[in-house]
Amino acid sequence: MPDASVRHVHQNKMREFVASSGSVNVISEGEKEFGDVESTPLIEDSFCQEIKSITSSDLSATKRNELEIVLKEFEPLFSRPVQPVAIGEHVIEILPNVTRQKPHSYSVPMSYRKEVDRQVKELLDLDLIEPSNADATYSIVCVAKKYTSIRMCIDYRALNAVTKGPNYPMKDTQELIFTAGMAQWL
């Protein structure tokens, strides 16, 4: 300061300005409120070579050869980028006479913003998401994974609360699990 006075500035005021990129919350691994969290497939460059380099010192020569044969046989499964599935258009039916409330939005923690932006760009590049001008938005939720990485998810609980359920009968979940458990092949 010019007058030799001391001014204390909080560390949040001293960081680089980054434009807001939506909203986010963080879920720890033990959190049960959100249920099962699935991850979005990522593009893996030269996946087979990475597997070979990782396993080269861990496997015997015969096991390494077996792995290389399997990787070579199924290489298209590992090396192809994720593609959107063309199965028709999905329609979400809202319950009649229900007013949707605006979901609570969370601010994006500074430590996650670059990773959230990277994941959004990757999903756009893969054509798995597209820009939208919808009147309702839902929060980005970052799930902390092992080794300090994050999984970006969307909190659709507010939408699910006003969504019309399926019109077809669904089998009992427990029965489906028992049936799958007894199967030799899935």
Domain membership flag for residue 135: yes
Other Cβ atoms within 10 Å of 127 Cβ, number: 11
The residue among 104, 103, 100, 106 whose CA lies nearest residue 141 is 106
Domain membership flag for residue 147: yes
Write the CA distances from 89 to 85, 86, 106, 127, integer angstroms: 10, 8, 30, 15
Q: What is the largest CA-CA distance in the chain?
A: 80
Looking at the DSSP assignment, which residues form a beta bridge with residue 140? 24, 154
**139 is in which domain, residue-wise?**
112-161
Tally the domains of the chain.
Answer: 2
Domain membership flag for residue 70: yes
More confident of the two residues 10 and 66? 66
pLDDT of residue 117: 92
Q: What ranges in 5-84 are assigned the alpha helix state H? A: 47-55, 61-73, 75-79
More confident of the two residues 155 and 42? 155
Domain membership flag for residue 177: no
Domain membership flag for residue 85: no
Q: pLDDT by residue (tens digit) across 62-106? A: 887 887 788 778 776 766 667 777 777 778 888 998 887 777 777
pTM of the model: 0.50
Q: Give the pLDDT band of residue 45 (cuts 50, 70, 90).
A: very low
Domain membership flag for residue 150: yes
